[in-house]
Amino acid sequence: MKKNLIIFGTRPEAIKMAPLVKEFQKDTKNFETKVCVTAQHREMLDQVLEFFEIQPDYDLDLMKPGQNLYSLTANIIESLQPVLEDFKPDYVYVHGDTTTTMAGSIASFYSGAKVCHVEAGLRTHNKWAPFPEEMNRQITGRVTDYHFAPTLTSKENLQKENVQEDSILVTGNTVIDALLQSVDKVNSSPSILIEELNKVIGDKELVLVTGHRRENHGEGFERICRALKRIAENDSNRLIIYPVHLNPKVQEPVRRVLSDVSNVILIDPLAYQDFIWLMNRSKIIITDSGGVQEEAPSLGKPVLVMRETTERPEAVEAGTVLLVGTDEDLIVNRTLELLNKKEAFDQMSKLHNPYGDGKACERIVKFIKEV
């Protein structure tokens, strides 16, 4: 019997780890699997736990309003010690590139467990973008025993860093597992919120927006908000819906600049199933999110990414994702081009699946069973 501990803390990690939790928990003959949440996020994490019906075995409850990287990192490492000493896992799974991922991998390394990195090998090779995620992912990679790379490109990134080939498995991204497992539930029982939003949207042209990256805080967000205001004011039959991330550094500029614009709707972060519904209903998506860049191509939605660089080049190469950075004029011009020129829109709205086939978790479980 192999003992697994799955650690996550933020909304995207929870979405992308939920299908792995389910897949391991199906096999009680070979595995004892426990879940530890750091709760680096609180409300935004709980929304995901509720949707996927996951009850954590350990909840470190660490989120503090306006938290900083120093104390968050220290608290995660310290709080994981008793969990690791209590359960004594053989394998610990961390996901992606957050502070929970990096601190969780170091604590697991200290405990002597084998570290398994899900969504391994993504790189921009620019330590300041995304910040601090690029370094979080590289540091995690150094203490990882088994690297679950979502694509061939991410495997090649690891090989260039001399990671042994037999410790890497290309799996696809578990975000596609989550998406495919959720789509039916979304369509069969829309929430009351979605029914209300649907009435407000009517036949309007819908632009969906999300944003939260630390490197965009401050001036970047000021430019983003001014651009969104101009896009909204350009056509009153257009609607922008923006579920605003709970980070106070995001809330403040977004609410200050956009609250009074009549065709911009600012709402709280949405439950995953509601967000999928809105992605499906939207004409285009403007975001700086990592996960949304991966989901949108599977839904055939054009995405403008408000970042200078991306560790997810596959969808850019496939033509559904375009990097626009945080230049106000560029965001406005590219968005209006996409909304108004059929040819530009058609080119970017083709269905692509560069990130997986929905079987990533199956592959991970099989690998660990046989290792």
Question: Do the beta carbons of residue 286 and residue 335 sit within 8 Å?
Answer: yes
Binding of residue 65 to ligand UD1 (CB under 6 A)? yes
CA distance 82 to 336: 53
Binding of residue 304 to ligand UDP (CB under 6 A)? no
Catalytic residue among 11, 212, 213, 223: 212
Q: Which residues contact 285 (CB under 8 A, 6 or more apart)?
A: 207, 208, 209, 210, 279, 292, 296, 301, 302, 303, 304
With CB under 5 to 8 Å by kind, the binding choice for 291 among ligand UDP, ligand UD1, none is: ligand UDP
Question: Do the beta carbons of residue 96 and residue 137 sit within 8 Å?
Answer: yes
With CB under 5 to 8 Å by kind, the binding choice for 3 among ligand UDP, ligand UD1, none is: none
Question: Do the beta carbons of residue 75 and residue 62 sit within 8 Å?
Answer: yes
Minimum gap (Å) between residue 171 Cβ and ligand UD1? 21
Binds ligand UD1 by CB under 6 A, chosen from 2, 25, 59, 67: 67
Cα four-point dihedral sign 189, 192, 194, 199 = positive
Nearest CA among 189, 177, 202, 356 for reference residue 281: 202
Binding of residue 246 to ligand UD1 (CB under 6 A)? yes
What's 113's DSSP letter? P
Note if 195 is an active site residue. Answer: no
Angle, vertex CA 302, rays to CA 341 and CA 11, nearest 5: 150
Note if 212 is an active site residue. Answer: yes
Binding of residue 212 to ligand UDP (CB under 6 A)? yes
CA distance 81 to 98: 19
Binds ligand UDP by CB under 6 A, chosen from 182, 210, 298, 349: 210
With CB under 5 to 8 Å by kind, the binding choice for 173 among ligand UDP, ligand UD1, none is: none
Tell me which residues in 13-52 interact with ligand UDP (CB under 6 A): 15
Minimum gap (Å) between residue 55 Cβ and ligand UD1? 18
Note if 214 is an active site residue. Answer: yes
319 token code pair: 């033509």
Catalytic residue among 13, 23, 133, 215: 133
Distance between alpha carbon 41 and the CA centroid of its chain, in Å? 13
Stretches 53-61, 108-116, 284-292, 349-357: which one binds ligand UDP (CB under 6 A)? 284-292
With CB under 5 to 8 Å by kind, the binding choice for 270 among ligand UDP, ligand UD1, none is: ligand UDP
Beta bridge partners of 147: 117, 168
Interacting residues toward ligand UDP by CB under 6 A: 11-12, 15, 210, 212, 243, 269-270, 272, 275, 289-292, 295
Interacting residues toward ligand UD1 by CB under 6 A: 10-12, 40-45, 63-67, 69, 97-99, 132-133, 212, 246-248
Q: Which residues are catalytic?
A: 97, 119, 133, 212, 214, 245
